[in-house]
């Protein structure tokens, strides 16, 4: 699909979303799940930002899984400090870093809502998008505007 960031490709296996990639990826047969994912992303980019309720199956360590599960519950338009996120997810700060940098389903799993402002080991370009820090900031700005009452 086209998006304000770049073309995006969503991949699914066994009825669950397993990846979101920047660029045109592999061809997949259109399915109800992929149509729902595209609709969710279109609404998201139109400012109708909501927590993702699609079935997700990211590949990662058990610790990364715990970090991603925590991220799914961060409210739209809010950020959680990386140390607090680690504590609340029951994982190490290093796991939060790796879970964000290696997130196979960014946007759906909102790793952009983790605040690394005071993290000496964080590389802003490690956000999993073509433009790294710019893509992350775009998503934060979009959510801030969407969460602001008119």
Higher pLDDT, 66 or 1: 66
CB of 62 within 8 A of CB of 72? no
pLDDT for residue 109 is more than 90: yes
Give the whole-number percent of the chain exceeding pLDDT 70: 95
Counting Cα atoms < 13 Å in the Cβ hemisphere of 34 gives 16
pLDDT for residue 44 is more than 80: yes
Show the 3-state SS of 60-104: CCHHHHHHHHHHHCCCCCCCEEHHHHHHHHCCCHHHHHHHHHCCC
For residues 136 and 4, give the distance between their C-alpha atoms in angstroms, rounded to a whole number: 12
pLDDT of residue 124: 82
Q: Which residue has the tokens 């739209």?
A: 76
Q: What integer best gives the mean pLDDT of the chain?
A: 91
> What angle in degrees, to the nearest 10, is found between the helix axes of 82-89 and 62-72?
110
Q: Give the pLDDT confidence of 23-41 residue by residue, as tens digits.
A: 887 667 889 999 999 999 9
pLDDT of residue 150: 44
Higher pLDDT, 148 or 138: 138
Mean pLDDT of 52-81: 95
CB of 85 within 8 A of CB of 67? yes
pTM of the complete model: 0.92
Q: Give the pLDDT confidence of 117-127 residue by residue, as tens digits.
A: 999 988 888 88
For residues 91 and 66, give the distance between their C-alpha atoms in angstroms, rounded to a whole number: 7
């Amino acid at each position: 699909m086209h998006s304000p960031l770049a073309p995006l490709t969503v991949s699914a296996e066994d009825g669950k979303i397993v990846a979101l990639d920047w660029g045109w990826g592999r061809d997949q047969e259109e399915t109800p799940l992929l149509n729902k994912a595209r609709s969710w992303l279109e609404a998201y980019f139109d400012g109708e930002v909501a927590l993702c309720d699609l079935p997700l199956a990211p590949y990662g360590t058990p610790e990364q899984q715990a970090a991603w599960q925590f991220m799914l519950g961060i409210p739209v338009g809010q950020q959680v400090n990386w140390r607090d996120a680690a504590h609340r997810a029951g994982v190490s700060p290093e796991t939060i870093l790796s879970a964000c940098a290696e997130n196979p389903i960014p946007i759906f799993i909102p790793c952009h809502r983790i605040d690394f402002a005071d993290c000496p080991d964080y590389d802003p370009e490690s956000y999993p998008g073509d433009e790294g820090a710019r893509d992350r900031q775009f998503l934060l700005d979009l959510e801030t505007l969407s969460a602001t009452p008119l």
